[in-house]
Every structure is written in C-alpha cells, then in structure tokens.
Amino acid sequence: MIELYINGKKVEEHNVVPDMTVLRYLRTTKNLPGTKEGCGSGDCGACSVLAGDMVNGEWRYKTINSCITFLSQLHNKSLITVEGLSQGSQLHPAQQAMVDKHGSQCGFCTPGIVMSLTALFENAPPNADFSLHEVYDALSGNLCRCTGYKPIIDAANAMKNYPGTIDVSIWTPSTERPVDEGGSDHSEGQAWTPKTEEALKQLLNDYPDARLVAGATDLALEVTQMHRRIHKLVAINQIASLKTITETRDYLVIGGAATFTEIEPFLKGSFPEFAALMSRFASRQIKNSATMGGNIASASPIGDAPPVLIALNAEIEISSLSGSRWVALDTFYIDYKKTILGTGEYIRAIRIPHRKATEQLKVYKISKRIEDDISAVLMAINITQQGDKIAAVRTGFGGMAAIPKAGAAIEAALLNQPMNVNTFRQAGLKVSEDFQPFNDVRASANYRIQVTQGLLEKCALEMLNPQATSRVENVCTAKLHSDNVIAPSAQECV
C-alpha cells in the first residue's frame, strides 16, 4: 500500500505499478489533468507539483518534477497540485498575480509556473520582497515558449500584494503519520519504501535484481524516454540515516540520499566554489529531488559532482548486509556506467576532507547554456601553494573520458612548478596524455582538449589575479522593471 495526501485528502493505493510516475498517476488515475506533460524528462517544468515532508512537526513543501518521480517515492508525503490552490473563485496569490500581470498565453506551461511561484510564496516570510536571484532560482526549471518571462517575473514580484487565502487543511492535512514500510505488490512487479537501513539491506539481499531510487532524476528517464519497465523498485529517499549531513573536525559527511538542496548550505560554508557550481547544476525542481549519492552511483562521465569530489579526495561508504567499507571515489569507477558496487550494496555516505587554509579549489563547467545544461567539460582543480611554488595538486575531470577521473599527467606537470601562466600552459600539453575524449552532440574530442587547455590557463590567471572578474555567471546583468532599466542590488547578482 502507498499512502499519501493529495490536496489535503488522504489517499491509499494498493497494488501500485512499481514504475508508475506521479504525473501518469495524477492524470490517468486521479483525473487531475492540470499537471501537464511537456518534455517527460524534468527539463520544462510543465509537470511541477509540490511535495511535502513532515519536518519538526510541520509540513514543508518543495517543487518536484512529477514526470520523473515515482509514486512509491511519495509514500507518507503530502502532494499539492494546481487544482488544490484555489478556494472556489478565490485564487492563490501566485495564480492571481499571473492573471493580473498577463503571465500566461497558451497556458500549457502555466500550471507548472504557478506551482513554482507558489513554493516561492509559501516558503517566504509574509510580505517578502524577492530578489531577482530568488525569482530566477524558483523559476529555473520552468520553460515558456510563447509568453516571454518578464510578465512572469512581474507576477513573482506582485505576489506579496495579495493575501494568502488557502485553506490551512490543504497544507497541514494531518498530524498523524503511518509507520509501515510502504511495500506493495502488483502483477507487474513490486515496490518498497523502507524506513530503515536494516530493512533496506534485507530487501537488497532478498531481491538482488531490485533497482534503487533516491531522487529518480536519472533512473526515471529509463521509463519516460527509453520506455523500459522497472519490475522491482526500492525507494530509499525516506531513510533518515541516509539523509543526514554532519561536519566533524576532519570531514563534511553527506548521507547518500541527501538532496542537493539540503546539501547546498553546507557547501556554501565549506566549499563555496562547489556551491557556486550548484547554481549551474540543475533547476530547483531537480535539486529538490536529486542526491549526491545518486549522482555518483549513476556513473555518468558527465555528472557534475564526481569530478569535484575527486579533486577534493572524497571517499564513499559502501554498505550491505555483510558490512561497510570506505573507498576513495577515484577507485569507484571501472568503465562507462560500471562501478565496484556489488550485489546488495549501496552508497551510504560521502565524506569530504575539510580543506587546509593553503588550498584553493577552482571549478569550471563548460556547457552550451549557462544554467540547467549538461556539461561538455567539467574541470575541478585543488591546489596548495607554498611561496611561488605549487606544493600539491589534485584534479577531477568530467566529459573527457568514459568515467570521471583525475589527470595524472597534468598533475605531474604542475607539481613543484612555479605558479605562473607558463606552468599551466605546459600542463595543458599533457591533456592528450591523460584523456582521449569522445565526439558527441555536445562537443568534439578536439574541442574538449582545447577547452581544457584553455581552462588550465584560465585557472592560472584567476589565481594570479583573484580580484578580476573572469566568470560569465559573476557578471551582474541589469534588472528590468517595467520599461526602465534599474541597476541591480548586490544580492541580485548571480
């Protein structure tokens, strides 16, 4: 049985198909067609809904892409769709602002935009003023083909002018939470939502062919894009011990099922360069669901987190019914989409050593779009400088090989050399020794080599001129308000 709340009403579903997406469930089973299917891959945001968790006795909501979320992941949660926002003829402030500011034309993308604006409104203090950056962040996962974004942004800024009118029971449907493990059987397969690691380990031991899912932002694409079936599914996103994030004297330790939204504040404090990458990692909806453990386990050569983690000498804890072990992340990958994970094993945690004061981390992502795009090349380089020499160096690269990996020849060319541009240029000549990149739709092999050489030189220039503005994402753009161009405030710089 899967038990959840939909627009404030308790719902029980028996015999749930394991790979039933929330979008398909809403449209075909619950007759709630306001949630639209656009891309089916978590890119356009037309399917955005709000998912709520009970945190310290209160329901807290975040946007997710229903097209790439499995229903079994929402066991014990509260789901809000666009149909639940209005009270009769009284619209939610996000809806009314979109009407008054003419934020909709064809209307197909509008429900998803409204849900993103609702999350922004409901998670902010009363009468809050939103910075342009906050608005962009909230809407980063919503695309609109015909309206243009200015009236939508105007609607976001106007929401504070309308009183909240939603029935409280929709947002706080119940104080009681079921405690069962959320298992369901169906003629087409089985699905489980364990609450403890002990239950997870036993499930993986009993059903070694079951697929693990935390955020589903990658796995669900097998269903929506490749039309494959998943017959046994274990959702781990409700195991509390896998979502913990702690800081010890030596490490930042991140649970394997912690989402990037949950991780962001810790990265900002300990690894601000890594946190800056998160603004380009994905939309808010994706970051609300995607996990660092999943980003590692998917073994994609273009995953954004693994190269940075390799440069930071991160380790991962691998667990199973037979025990646990820590391994260096750079030993985890064997070949394209292949790892050392054995039957019944899962990533329990990631630990990142705290940096020394002498270390500097630089992270570069090259993609066709600034935000919400897949990397053609990602380079991370962690350098310790003593005097005018490079005393230690560690790198991580994505998009350059079949796996995320360090550049051994590049590191050797930099180590114990003077900190100057020529040193990094010479290291750039070693790129083809470390990597034989592939050609694909994002970039040619030759481009990848040349851009990596350029990034190495850029790294030297940034380290030698730390006050210089050298990143596109650090350039403030003028804030548009009505027909006037007004200089942005500091917090509105990306």
Tens of pLDDT, residue by residue over 82-109, are 999 998 888 999 999 999 999 999 999 9
What is the DSSP track for 415-432? TT-BSSHHHHHHHHTTHH
CB 38 within 8 A of CB 65: no
How does residue 152 score in pLDDT terms, banded at 50, 70 and 90? very high
How does residue 493 score in pLDDT terms, banded at 50, 70 and 90? very low
CB 257 within 8 A of CB 236: yes
Q: Classify residue 58 as exposed, middle or buried by CB count within 10 Å of its CB (0-12, 13-18, 19+).
A: exposed
Q: In what order do the strands lie in the sheet with 245-247?
A: 245-247, 251-255, 346-353, 315-320, 323-328
Specify the pLDDT at position 489. Answer: 42
Tracing tokens 């992502």 back to the chain, one arrives at: 365
Which CATH number among 3.40.50.2000, 3.30.43.10, 1.10.490.10, 3.40.367.20 corresponds to the domain 184-235?
3.30.43.10
| Residue 494: both structure tokens together | 């990306």
CB 265 within 8 A of CB 254: no
3-class DSSP state for residue 292? helix
Task: Tell me the pLDDT tens digit for each residue of 411-422.
Answer: 999 999 999 999
Closest CA to 191 of 225, 174, 216: 216
Closest CA to 333 of 352, 310, 350: 310
Give me the mean pLDDT over the 332-344 stretch.
95
How does residue 483 score in pLDDT terms, banded at 50, 70 and 90? very low
Tell me how far apart the alpha carbons of residues 410 and 395 are, in angstroms, rounded to a whole number. Answer: 8
3-class DSSP state for residue 134? helix
Closest CA to 264 of 288, 232, 247: 288
How does residue 14 score in pLDDT terms, banded at 50, 70 and 90? confident
Q: Tell me the CB-side half-sphere exposure of residue 245, using CA atoms within 13 A.
A: 18
Task: Tell me the pLDDT tens digit for each residue of 256-293.
Answer: 999 999 999 999 989 999 999 988 889 999 999 999 99
Give me the mean pLDDT over the 162-171 stretch.
78
- The DSSP bridge partners found for residue 325 are 318
Task: Reply yes or no on whether the pLDDT at 487 is more than 80.
Answer: no
What is the DSSP track for 48-101? EEEEEEEETTEEEEEEEEGGG-BGGGGTT-EEE-GGGS-BTTB--HHHHHHHHT
Label the pairing between strands 58-65 and 48-55. Answer: antiparallel
pLDDT averaged over every residue in the chain: 90
Query: Which one is predicted more confidently, 66 or 482?
Result: 66
CATH topology assigned to domain 2-171? Ubiquitin-like (UB roll) (3.10.20)
CATH topology assigned to domain 243-494? Enolase-like; domain 1 (3.30.390)
Positions of E strands within 354-448: 359-366, 377-386, 389-398
How far is Cα of residue 279 from the mean position of the Cα atoms in its chain? Answer: 10
Task: Tell me the pLDDT tens digit for each residue of 287-323.
Answer: 999 999 999 999 999 999 999 999 999 999 999 999 9
Specify the pLDDT at position 475. Answer: 62
Specify the pLDDT at position 177. Answer: 54
Task: Reply yes or no on whether the pLDDT at 165 is more than 80.
Answer: no
Share of the chain above pLDDT 90, in %: 77
Task: Tell me the pLDDT tens digit for each residue of 35-61.
Answer: 999 999 999 999 999 999 988 888 999
Phi, psi angles (nearest 5°) of residue 385:
-110, 135
How does residue 176 score in pLDDT terms, banded at 50, 70 and 90? low
Task: Tell me the pLDDT tens digit for each residue of 372-384.
Answer: 788 999 999 999 9
Q: Where are the chain's structural domains?
A: 2-171, 184-235, 243-494
Label the pairing between strands 232-235 and 189-192. Answer: parallel
